[in-house]
Structure 1
Amino acid sequence: MFQNGYLKVRKLEEKDDHLLAKWLSDPSVLEFYEGRDNPFDLARVNKVFYAPQDVVDKCIVEFDSNEIGYIQFYQLDEETKKEYGYENEHVYGTDQFIGEVEYWNKGIGTLLVSSMVNFLMEHKKAARVVMDPQTRNTRAIKCYEKCGFKKVKLLPSRELHEGEYKDCWLMEYRE
C-alpha cells in the first residue's frame, strides 16, 4: 500500500487474524472500538474481517517493522453520502486503531491518519475523507484535528456501544 518513514500500511493477510483477535480482546482498545462487552475471538475475527464480498480495504499498520494496529478505508455508499450531504462527491471513510497500547500517545496515530489522507487524496482522488468518532473519544478527536479534520455535524445516538447509543461527530478532511 504505502510507507512513510517508519510507518508502513499493508494489506491485511490471513496470518494477521491472531493479531486482530489479540487487539480486539484488549479492554483498552475495546473502550472506543467495538466495546469492552464485545470482544473478538479468532472465529469472530475471521467471520468479520475476512468476508469475501466486503468492499472495505483492510490493512495492518506497522511501525519500525512491528505490527501495531489496523486501518480500513472505503468509498462511502450513496445512502451514506446522501445522509452526510455529499451526494455528488468522491468521499472516503476510514476507521483505525492502534492495538499495541505502548505505541499510544507517541504521535504515530497522527502520522497514520495524515499518511492515509494523503494516500486517499493522491491515489484514490478523494474529494473528502470522513470519520465518525464517538464524541467522548477526545484523544482520537484531537489526533484527527491535528491532521486537519474538522467537526462538521453531530450524529446523535449514532453507534451502539456497550449497551448504549453514543453520539458521534462527523469529521471531514478536505483540501
Structure 2
Amino acid sequence: MINFREMQDTEEDYRLLLSWFSNPEVFRWYGQEDFPDGVSLDLVKEKYRLRCLRADAVTPAVIEIDGRPAGYIQYYKTDDCPGESDVWGIDLFIGEDDFRDRGYGTAILNKMTGYLFQEKKAGKIILDPEQDNKRAIRCYEKAGFIVKGRIGEHQLLMVLEKNMQGSIVDVCFYDEVSDSLLKYAVIVSRFQGQWLFCKHKNRSTYECPGGHREPGEDILATARRELYEETGARKYSLKPVCVYSVVRSSAKGADRNETFGLLCYAEIYELSELPAEFEMERITLFTELPDAWTYPEIQPRLMAKIMETVSL
C-alpha cells in the first residue's frame, strides 16, 4: 500500500531525510548538487524547513509503503515551460534499498500524477532527471513520461500530458457501482513473488489477465474464468479490490464515454499448462513492471491502485 505523508518540521523527519541522503545511491543523483561538501542534519534542516512549514511553493512528502517510510517526493507548480499554464513538477527518490527495482517507482509516480491531474487540474507534469540516471529515466518512461528536451547541460526534460493525440483517457476508481454497469474484470496477479503478465498471440506487448463479462455471468465468475483462460491458474486466492472506469473524451470534453470494470488481485499458488484454445501465447513473470504495455494509458494506473491498497 502506497501513501504520501506530508513532511513535518520535526527532528524525526529531518533525520529520516539525512539517513537517505547518506545512502551513496541517493546522494549520487539527488544530493550532490544541494550538498556539494557533504550532508549534515543542519544542512537538511536549512534546505527543507521552509517547505515543512508550508512557507514555500514546494510541498514535501514522505513516501510510505505498507506503513514504512520508503522515500521522498515533492510537487510544485512551475514556470519551466514558458507560455504554458497549469504545469506541475515532481521530484522523488526511493531511499530504502529493499524497495528499489520492484516496480514501486512507477506506481508512486502514477499515484502522484493522478492526484495532480485530478485534484490540482494539472495540464502537464514535468520531471528533470540527470541524463545518466538510466534507472530513473526508465521508471519515468514506464509511467508515460516522454523526453521533450534538456534543462541545462546534464538534465533531461521529461513530460507527461493529460491530452494525448486530441483525446483524453482517464482512469477513475469507485467503491461500488450498479452491478449492471460492470462489463469486464481485470486481475492483477502475482506468482512466486513476481508479477504475472500475459502476452497475446497477436501482440508484442504485455497485459494483465482479464476480459469481458459474458451475458448473465457473475462478475467474480468472469474474473475466475479469465484468470484460468489467460494464465492456466488452478490454485489461487482472488479478491475484488474496487471498481474502475475508463473515461474517453475529446480534448474539448465532447463525446464522453465511461465504461466500468472490476479490478481484482490474485495470489496464484499453482499454474497448469496455458490453455491453447484461447488467445494468450504465454505468461511471463516480472520482478519490475514491464516496459511494453498493451494499454499504457490504463494498466499502469491499475497497477498503482493495487500497490496502493494491497499489502504485498
TM class, shorter-chain normalised?
0.7 to 0.9
* Cα displacement (A) at 1:92: 0.3
Q: Does 1:71 align with 2:73?
A: yes
**Gapped runs of 5+ residues in structure 1?**
1-5, 158-166
> Paired residue for 1:147?
143
Aligned length: 155
Name the CA distance, whole Å, in 1 between partners of 2:57 and 2:15. 22
Q: Does 1:34 align with 2:31?
A: yes
The Cα offsets for residues 84-103 of structure 1, whole Å up to 9 and x where unpaired, read as xxx13200001000111121
Name the CA distance, whole Å, in 1 between partners of 2:77 and 2:44. 22
What fraction of aligned residue pairs are identical, expressed as a percent? 32
Amino acid in the other structure paired with 2:102: K
**What TM-score, normalized to structure 1?**
0.84
Q: Between Structure 1 and Structure 2, whose CA radius of gyration is higher? A: 2
Q: Does 1:126 align with 2:113?
A: no
Name the Cα RMSD after superposition: 1.4
Q: Greater helix share, 1 or 2? A: 1
* Cα displacement (A) at 1:37: 4.7
Amino acid in the other structure paired with 2:72: Y
Which of 158, 164, 171 is the equivalent residue of 1:171? Answer: 158
Name the CA distance, whole Å, in 2 between partners of 1:41 and 1:106. 29
Q: Does 1:20 align with 2:17?
A: yes
The Cα offsets for residues 101-121 of structure 1, whole Å up to 9 and x where unpaired, read as 121101111111111000000
* Cα 1:107–1:114 shift into 2, 3 Å: same
Q: Does 1:93 align with 2:92?
A: no
Amino acid in the other structure paired with 1:105: D
* Cα displacement (A) at 1:156: 3.8
* Cα 1:127–1:64 shift into 2, 3 Å: same
**What TM-score, normalized to structure 2?**
0.48
Q: Retained in 2: the 8 A contact 1:24–1:39?
A: no
Q: Retained in 2: the 8 A contact 1:92–1:129?
A: yes
Name the CA distance, whole Å, in 1 between partners of 2:37 and 2:146. 29
* Cα displacement (A) at 1:39: 3.4
Amino acid in the other structure paired with 2:156: W
